[in-house]
Structure 1
Amino acid sequence: MDNQTKPDWLVENDDGSLTINFESRPPKIDGTEVKSLKMREPFVDDQLAADSAGSSSALSEIALISNLCEISPEAVRSMTMRQYSRLQTALSVFIG
C-alpha cells in the first residue's frame, strides 16, 4: 500500500510501526476510549506464536493483532467490525 492509496486514518511512523486512528468512534479498551493504536511491525516469531495460539485463522489473526498492538485479545474481540477492519488493513500493510 503506497501513500497514494493509504487511508487518512493510517499513519506510518519513522520506526516502521503504524498508527491507526479512530476519530469519530473510538473503541473502549479497559473502559477507556482509545483514539489511536500503535501497531508495531511483526517478526516471524509473532506469526508463529499467533498460529500456535489460535485454533482457526480468525483466532490466530486476533492473537497476532493483539500482540502487535499490545492489547488483550478480549479488547480486539469487543471492537466493532468497522474498528477491527482498520486493524486488519494495518496488518495487511506488513504482510500483504
Structure 2
Amino acid sequence: MSVEITLSEAVTVKGVVYEALTMREPRVRDSLNADKFKGSDGEKEVRMFASLCEVPPEVFYDMTLPDFKKVQDAFSGFFS
C-alpha cells in the first residue's frame, strides 16, 4: 500500500523537482533503521520519511511546514 502526497510548493534538490511524493507503507525495519540515526526526534522522523518516500532527506529540509504536515498526516494514516 502507498499514498500519494501532492506538495503545494515544489521542492528542488540537486536539480530534481519534487511536486509530489509517494510514501510506501512502513515496515518494522524502517523504524529500527531510523532509531540508528543520532540526533533529534525530528531528524529521525525526516530520515524515516526520506526512506519511505525514496527521496533524499534534503527534500524535507526545504519543504514548507504545511507540506511537511501533509507528509506527517500521510504517515499517521497508515496506523488508523
**Aligned counterparts, 1:6-45, within 5 A:** 16-22=1-7, 24-45=8-29
TM-score (norm 1): 0.72
Q: 1:63 aligns with which of 38, 47, 67?
A: 47
2-side partners of 1:79 and 1:18: how far apart? 18
Aligned counterparts of 2:59 and 2:49: Cα–Cα separation in 1: 11
Name the count of aligned residue pairs: 80
More strand by share: 2
Listed as ranges, the matches of 1:43-54 within 5 Å are 43-54=27-38
Structure number with larger C-alpha Rg: 1
TM-fit CA distance, 1:86? 1.1
Identity of aligned residues (%): 34
Q: Which amino acid aligns with 2:4?
A: T
TM superposition score normalised by structure 2: 0.85
- Aligned residues: CA RMSD: 1.6
Segments ≥4 residues shifted beyond 4 Å: none
Tell me the equivalent position of 2:56.
72
* TM-fit CA distance, 1:72: 0.9
Higher relative contact order (CA 8 A, sep 6+): 2
* Aligned residue identity for 2:16: T
Q: What 5-or-longer segments of structure 2 have no aligned partner? A: none
